[in-house]
Amino acid sequence: MTDTQSPDLDRAIGFTLPDRHARGRIARLGPVMDEILAAHAYPPAIEKLLAEALVLTALLGSTLKDAGGQLTLQAQTESGIVSLLVCDYQGGAVRGYVQYDADRLAEAPGDPTLMALFGTGYLAITFDQAATGERYQGIVPLDGATLADAAQSYFLQSEQIPSLIRLAVARGVDGGMIGGGLFLQHLPEGEEGRERLHVRDDHPEWQHVETLAATMGPDELTDLSASFETLIWRLFNEEREVRTLAAVDLSKGCRCNADYIGQVIAKFPVEDRAHMADEQGVITVDCAFCARKFPVPADLAV
The pLDDT assigned to 4 comes to 43
The number of residues making up the chain comes to 302
- Positive or negative CA dihedral for 225, 209, 189, 135? negative
Sequence-ordered list of residues with C-beta below 8 angstroms from that of 50, at least 6 positions apart, any chain: 36, 37, 42, 85, 87, 96, 97, 98
**C-alpha separations of 26 from 10, 32, 196, 234, 252 in Å:** 11, 16, 25, 13, 18
How large is the average pLDDT for residues 92-117? 91
User: pLDDT, tens digit, for every residue of 108-143?
Assistant: 888 888 888 998 889 999 998 877 878 888 888 888
The pLDDT assigned to 202 comes to 58
The pLDDT assigned to 66 comes to 79
The pLDDT assigned to 12 comes to 97
Is CATH 3.30.360.10 what the domain over 11-252 is classified as, yes or no? no
When pLDDT is cut at 50, 70 and 90, the band that residue 228 belongs to is very high
The pLDDT assigned to 166 comes to 96
Alpha helices (runs of H) in 108-185, residue ranges in sequence order? 114-118, 147-158
Strand partners for 26: 13, 182
Beta strand 121-128 with 282-287 is unpaired
The pLDDT assigned to 266 comes to 82
* Listed residue (64, 59, 34, 57) closest to 47, CA to CA: 34
**pLDDT at 2 exceeding the cut of 50:** no
When pLDDT is cut at 50, 70 and 90, the band that residue 192 belongs to is very low
User: pLDDT, tens digit, for every residue of 136-176?
Assistant: 888 888 888 889 999 998 888 877 788 999 999 999 888 89
More confident residue, 158 or 229: 229
Q: How far apart are CA 110 and CA 222, in angstroms?
A: 22
User: pLDDT, tens digit, for every residue of 19-37?
Assistant: 998 999 999 999 999 999 9
Q: Where are the domains of the chain?
A: 11-252, 258-297
Q: Poorest-confidence range of 7-16, 155-164, 216-225, 287-296?
A: 287-296
How large is the average pLDDT for residues 187-213? 65
The pLDDT assigned to 269 comes to 85
The pLDDT assigned to 198 comes to 47
The pLDDT assigned to 106 comes to 93
State percent of the chain over pLDDT 70: 92
User: pLDDT, tens digit, for every residue of 243-286?
Assistant: 999 999 999 987 777 777 777 788 888 888 888 888 888 888 87
The pLDDT assigned to 188 comes to 67
- Mean model confidence pLDDT for the chain: 86
The pLDDT assigned to 204 comes to 76
223-256 in b/e form (b: 16+ CB < 10 A) is bbebbbbbbbeebbeebeebeeeebbebebbbee
Q: What is the Cα 63 distance to its own chain's centre?
A: 11
pTM for the structure as a whole: 0.87
**pLDDT at 18 exceeding the cut of 70:** yes
The pLDDT assigned to 255 comes to 72
